[in-house]
Structure 1
């Protein structure tokens, strides 16, 4: 009560002065403002109204609350309720494609209103012109037959923040049955797609796969351009689990075969479990990546699981080390991996942390960045692709060195050939993958620099890369199940990193024709020759260096020295030489006329026709048939 009486006395004393002061403050801060504008040039789009975009409505160019009222033929007005004392604004026709400018089409500074300067709540201004932007007449000449009759078609792109159903970007059907839209923009590169109002109803390829963004590069020499398009299909009208090409079937087959390997190998292959672990790791990574790549071609999956687009990229830095360690365990008696083997996985960790900001983004932001091809996103994903290419080239060289070292070591310890053809086929396929990978990178960079439209070529090249990569999984898996009898040879991987293990330290392989001061081995040589002549151990297809050394009572090391230094041969050629000579004797014997060449080859110790023909040609410079003909003559 005391406070109320105080204000009553204060009002009586100050009276009208205080009341006027309060009203003044109120009108200075927020009040009603009227803007009247005279439109001198014709409207860019006669069907669209005029809007005012203000700094205090976040420069929204088409807010219905800020649509101007038409007063006469060229005069429009708007009353702004509760407007601040000062603000900036511009006039549009609903989008920033239609924004006021100078009479010659240049950009215009913002209008400004300041109530303290105006000394009133009314401002009159004019629209002198419209910003001159390139006009693109977008024309859809054909849509899929299964398009619903009542469908509306919209255009979404980097010019409208990829809004899939903005009514201001709806195409209109003309009398010719075409869908048309006038697009005004000053963007140097336009990217866009057509939808039926949402990203679930976005256009697709005829096969149902997601299509890349359509692109238009601005030509400064033109003021307008007609762009004709055809919509091949809609993703939502073709189903989500349909597969439409032999390419998809082959990739799916590879994935299923990988799953089959993951299930069967642990239970059926007990001979080399360490190698199988690395094999299954590489197969799992390859199969998962192939599946992610395949499903990422369908927008319906991408909309639900956007991260699958980038998760397949992790195969770049994971597959190489896994397959490398598989080869080490498959071919060599290595109880330990190369020293500092974990360093091989550092590139994968770097890639993961580089991708992490995009992985933790919310789905909508990530999809918008992906469709808009943000520079940072392109730089990181493109950089990962280029570095991944060089990383896999490095490992391909290691694969070759590893297999070459195995062959050399094998020839010094065993007398029969190993079937490594499937590994050679895998190397060839991997080489082709690397070639097409490099070709795809060159195409992509060329397209960005020259602005050539080569998206289809890049896509086909990428599909071919994944197809050939899937074949490597199939081949390795098939031989892992059906041909697992590869003989291991000694190797020393402990403490050796990267390609060092493929040099002299991989084995104790002796070098031929090296003159060293050795003890007299003439007695052992004589013992060896007598034993071979009498016992003919070469007829044993599986005879090995250690087995022969045990039979004649000397160490494997001494026997290896004798063969390498006295005969200047490796163990493989040494034994095959005796086999070939025995074959010559047997083929001349009339008692053996009923035997075939292959039968005699098996009799003297060869384990295959290929091994026999290759050894015979190497030692005699003649094929078995040529030798027989010369013998008869």
Structure 2
């Protein structure tokens, strides 16, 4: 029954994505993946329930399916971070699965009665072929999970160069997705089909809950509005800047930049410092490089170079430094003694307790609570 729930939810989520207005390449990939997960779950359900005799045309279809899940995970993540926009290259990832289906073609053309008989006798006559097909399954899963984590690591580094906060970037969604797949593959390695498919069902429930409630993947609300495109060429050609940012990595971004003249750099830096001190733009938790550059009337690449060169830090650290100093300033004011640490953190622009604690300790070597104790600052009890 639990497997049927996973199947229904998978198909429902896929339908939401296929009918979603303005769906992206990533949406299409996820929709297709969910459809194939539903097929895989259904095939497994027929086998464990003994109803496979009613669906003989599906027999054998499930054998190569594990080879497609790793590629779909990687391609979905790559599409979200704009690393895989050449669809012709997608097929390369599915060559192992394609070869597996070709090897099984002799079985597929058999009569239904023959197929049922093979399954009733535990794959008699096809044992060696199935063993060969299953040989790359575990390595494939491990490789794609690791590959996806590496891609996310690179992307998280790039995010920090563009944004003053990271929690609202939909990176957690992708990390959880990859960890979930990793857990499934661990179960595959341990060789327990029951626990593996139970994990797949839970994986689908997670995608549904987190994707709808936390991220909005399955709605028409734009998920990647925080991931603005910083590729100069694409922006100048009129491509949608709302499609994921930091498309081609740090190196390509560096090549797109042109050196800023020292005079201009000094001028922009002075204007930036004045703007931050007078208008305290850092208090906006959604402040990003493009928005700040727009206020200064310069290109985001110019501003990035100014911050990197003049402040010797990235945009993320630059903005959070202002927030920390502002917190230190207002925490000692008598009128704020009734406020909590967290409320003051929100006041200065942090959008979560985790972000505040992490960045404060990074800058001062102390947690906010330790700092207040050291400075004998009395604030509200809740922290």
Could you tell me the TM-score, scaled by structure 1's length?
A: 0.51
The reply on whether 1:367 has 2:144 as its aligned counterpart is no
Distance in 2 between the 1:318 and 1:387 partners?
11
Change in Cα spacing, 1:309 to 1:617, as seen in structure 2 (3 Å) is: farther
In structure 2, the residue matched to 1:204 is: none
SS of the residue 1:583 aligns to? helix
Is the CA contact 2:17–2:23 (under 8 Å) kept in the aligned structure 1?
no
The reply on whether 1:320 has 2:63 as its aligned counterpart is no
Give the strand-richer structure, 1 or 2: 1
Q: 2:316 aligns with which of 545, 565, 572?
A: 572
**Residues 206-225 of structure 1: matches in 2 within 5 Å?**
none
The reply on whether 1:259 has 2:17 as its aligned counterpart is no
Change in Cα spacing, 1:324 to 1:552, as seen in structure 2 (3 Å) is: same
The reply on whether 1:381 has 2:381 as its aligned counterpart is no
Distance in 2 between the 1:335 and 1:547 partners?
27
Unpaired runs of 5+ in structure 1? 1-248, 441-460, 495-502
CA shift, 1:588, in A, is 0.8
In structure 2, the residue matched to 1:538 is: 282
In structure 2, the residue matched to 1:412 is: 161
Q: Deviations over 1:200-244 (max 9, x none)?
A: xxxxxxxxxxxxxxxxxxxxxxxxxxxxxxxxxxxxxxxxxxxxx
CA shift, 1:560, in A, is 0.9
In structure 2, the residue matched to 1:354 is: 103
Q: 1:475 aligns with which of 206, 212, 217?
A: 206
Change in Cα spacing, 1:339 to 1:415, as seen in structure 2 (3 Å) is: farther
CA shift, 1:351, in A, is 1.4
Q: 2:90 aligns with which of 331, 341, 362?
A: 341
Change in Cα spacing, 1:342 to 1:374, as seen in structure 2 (3 Å) is: closer
Distance in 2 between the 1:541 and 1:385 partners?
49
Change in Cα spacing, 1:540 to 1:517, as seen in structure 2 (3 Å) is: closer
Change in Cα spacing, 1:261 to 1:507, as seen in structure 2 (3 Å) is: same
In structure 2, the residue matched to 1:222 is: none
Is the CA contact 2:342–2:353 (under 8 Å) kept in the aligned structure 1?
yes
Number of residue equivalences: 349
Change in Cα spacing, 1:605 to 1:508, as seen in structure 2 (3 Å) is: farther
Q: Who wins on radius of gyration, i.e. which is larger?
A: 1
Which structure exhibits the higher relative contact order, with contacts defined as CA atoms closer than 8 Å and separated by 6 or more residues?
Answer: 2
SS of the residue 1:256 aligns to? helix
Is the CA contact 1:370–1:377 (under 8 Å) kept in the aligned structure 2?
no
Change in Cα spacing, 1:403 to 1:541, as seen in structure 2 (3 Å) is: same
CA shift, 1:508, in A, is 4.9
RMSD: 2.8
Change in Cα spacing, 1:508 to 1:540, as seen in structure 2 (3 Å) is: farther
CA shift, 1:375, in A, is 6.8
CA shift, 1:373, in A, is 4.9
The reply on whether 1:523 has 2:267 as its aligned counterpart is yes
Change in Cα spacing, 1:419 to 1:518, as seen in structure 2 (3 Å) is: closer
CA shift, 1:307, in A, is 4.6
Q: Deviations over 1:27-63 (max 9, x none)?
A: xxxxxxxxxxxxxxxxxxxxxxxxxxxxxxxxxxxxx
The reply on whether 1:582 has 2:313 as its aligned counterpart is no
Could you tell me the TM-score, scaled by structure 2's length?
A: 0.82
CA shift, 1:356, in A, is 1.1
Is the CA contact 1:414–1:543 (under 8 Å) kept in the aligned structure 2?
yes
**Residues 399-438 of structure 1: matches in 2 within 5 Å?**
399-417=148-166, 418=169, 420-438=171-189
SS of the residue 2:85 aligns to? coil
